Amino acid sequence: MFEVYFPVFLMLAIAVAVPCLLFTLASTLGTKNPTPEKMLPYESGSASTGAQHLRLSVKFYLTAILFVVFDIEAVFLYPWAAQFRELGWAGLVEMVLFLLVLGVTLVYAWKKGALEWER
């Protein structure tokens, strides 16, 4: 059991050890001369603006939740696809009905403006 996974654990150990080693070396051997400019967050050379706690717009939430709901409904498609031949026509009809209902809800969300970023 353990032998099979030995290479994985070895890999894991090396992956942890190397960055630790590098960071330790850098912090002990390097000289430190902090200036205010050096302490700023690095944003590709441009000066950073705004507070660090950014208020995320509620629009992100609406989009995310729509994604999650429609995404999870797709969960029912997998078992149906796996058993497609066994379920036959009855399964196809049921799935089409299910997707139609989902389609109606999509139309609803669309027309209600839930999919528009700027309102």
Partner 1 sequence: MIELLGAWAPLLPVLFVALGGLGLMLVDALVKDKAELAMGTFVVLSLGAGLALGLWNEPVTAASTELFGGWVAADRLSLFLDVAICGGAALAALLGGGYLREHQLERGEFYVLVVFSAFGGMMLGRSSDVLTLFVALETLSLGVYGLVAFRRTSPRAAEGALKYFLLGSFASAILLYGSALLYGATGHTDFVGIAASIEAGDAETRLTILAMALMVVGLAFKVSAVPFHMWTPDAYEGAVTPATTFMAVVVKTAAFGVLLRVLFVVFGDDMLSAPSTGWPRVLGALAAITMLGGNLAAIVQRNVKRMLAYSSIAHAGYILVGIAAAASGPADAGWSETALSSVLYYLLAYTVSNVLAFGSLILAGSHGKEAVSYEDLAGLGRRHPAVALPFVLGILSLMGFPPTAGFFAKYYVLSAAMQMGTGMLWLVLVAVLSSAVGAYYYLRVLVFLFMKQPEPGAVVAVPMRSLYVVSALVLSGYFVLRMGLAPNAYLEFALEAARTFG
Partner 2 sequence: MDIGLGTYLSLAAILFGIGAVGFLSRRGILLQLMSIEIMLNSVNLTLVAFNRWNPSSHAGQVFAFFVIAVAAAEAAVGLAILISFYRLKKTVESDRADLLKG
Which residues of this protein are in contact with partner 1, per CB under 8 A? 101, 104-105, 107-108, 110-112
Q: Which two tokens stand for residue 102?
A: 């989902």
Only one residue has tokens 């999919």, namely: 115
* Nearer residue to partner 2 within complex by CB, 47 or 75: 75
* Nearer residue to partner 1 within complex by CB, 32 or 112: 112
Q: Is 14 exposed, middle or buried (0-12, 13-18, 19+ CB in 10 A)?
A: exposed
> What letter does residue 5 receive in the DSSP assignment?
H
Task: Give dist(CA 88, CA 71) in Å, integer.
Answer: 24
Q: Which of 12, 20, 69, 101 binds partner 2 (CB under 8 A)?
A: 69
- Residues of this chain, 73-92, that bind partner 2 according to CB under 8 A: 73, 75-76, 79
In the list partner 2, partner 1, none, the entry touching 79 (Cβ below 5 to 8 angstroms by class) is partner 2
Task: Give dist(CA 51, CA 41) in Å, integer.
Answer: 12
Interacting residues with partner 2 (CB under 8 A): 58, 61, 65, 68-69, 71-73, 75-76, 79
